[in-house]
Amino acid sequence: MAEPSKRDLAVLRDVGRLGHASADQLRRLHFAEGSEVGRRRRAQAVLRRLSEDGYLHRLPRRVGGSGSGSAGFVYCLGYRGQRLVFPALFPGRRARTPEEVGTSFVGHSLAVAELVAALVEAEREERCSGMALETEPSCWRDYLGLHGAKRSLRPDLGVRLSVGGQQLVWFVEVDRGTEGLRRIRAKGRQYLEYWRTGQEQQQLGGVFPKVLWSVPDRRRKELLLRTLAELPPPGSEMFEVRTAKGSASLLLGDEMEANEGTEGDEA
């Protein structure tokens, strides 16, 4: 059995950071050279080999159903893959035999992975530069809340990039429409609580990241807009809500394209 190549390791690290990723997402992230057909074939061959060698574990279901073919296969790290990349990614975490997890959890992981893939493609197309992505738990922020209580703010993704010489900084909440509005409101309050500490601003030269809620459709968007509008200042300036189709464009500073993507979604 051959040792994993440099690209193999990059694939495994991304699957480890994201938790789950589809074959199509991994192709877009790591197989950019050559024709479309060639990219798909190479990605399929590499993912099959890594699965057969125990570095990846392929879930028994596909994204998009059985008609999606191999592009719809979903992967997580296999036992050997965990042993290989966990020491660097998650020191102290033990490797375990992959277990079946709920569809909601997998769906959330894939939604984050889709956003990451879109941003990586944008940087490859030179629509942005200097991009740094923080996945969980690297994007989490520990801080002291009211009366010195230990608190932890847990976004789904942290994004830093430069567009036209301007640096854009974001926290991202990927919303799948499953959380109650009370919980959304509480999370918004927590961002405001963290903002008041000044902790992030000290690291970013006085700037606090904007917060994007990426939602599945326009109906959910309107619900979150109304809910977050109830929060005190500077919530109206801090929070943005977009559908999944417009989220990457907003993160890249393209407000017009972000709104057009939203309008195209079904209610």
- CA separation for the pair 39, 105 (Å, rounded): 28
* pTM of the complete model: 0.92
Q: How far apart are the first and last CA of the chain?
A: 51
- CA separation for the pair 7, 231 (Å, rounded): 45
Instruction: Give Cβ neighbours of residue 28 (< 8 Å, ≥ 6 apart).
Output: 117, 120, 121
Token digits of residue 14:
């991304």
| Residue 14 · residue 21 · CB < 8 Å | yes
pLDDT of the chain along its 267 residues, tens only?
778 999 999 999 999 999 999 999 999 999 998 888 999 999 999 999 999 999 999 998 766 554 445 668 999 999 999 999 999 999 999 999 998 888 999 999 999 999 999 999 999 999 999 999 999 999 999 999 988 999 999 999 999 999 999 999 999 999 999 999 999 999 999 999 999 999 999 999 999 999 999 999 999 999 999 999 999 999 999 999 999 999 999 999 987 565 644 444 543
- CA separation for the pair 223, 202 (Å, rounded): 33
* Amino acid symbol at 47: L
Write the CATH number of the domain with boundaries 6-101: 1.10.10.10
In the chain, domain spans: 6-101, 108-263
Identify the CATH class of 108-263. Answer: alpha beta
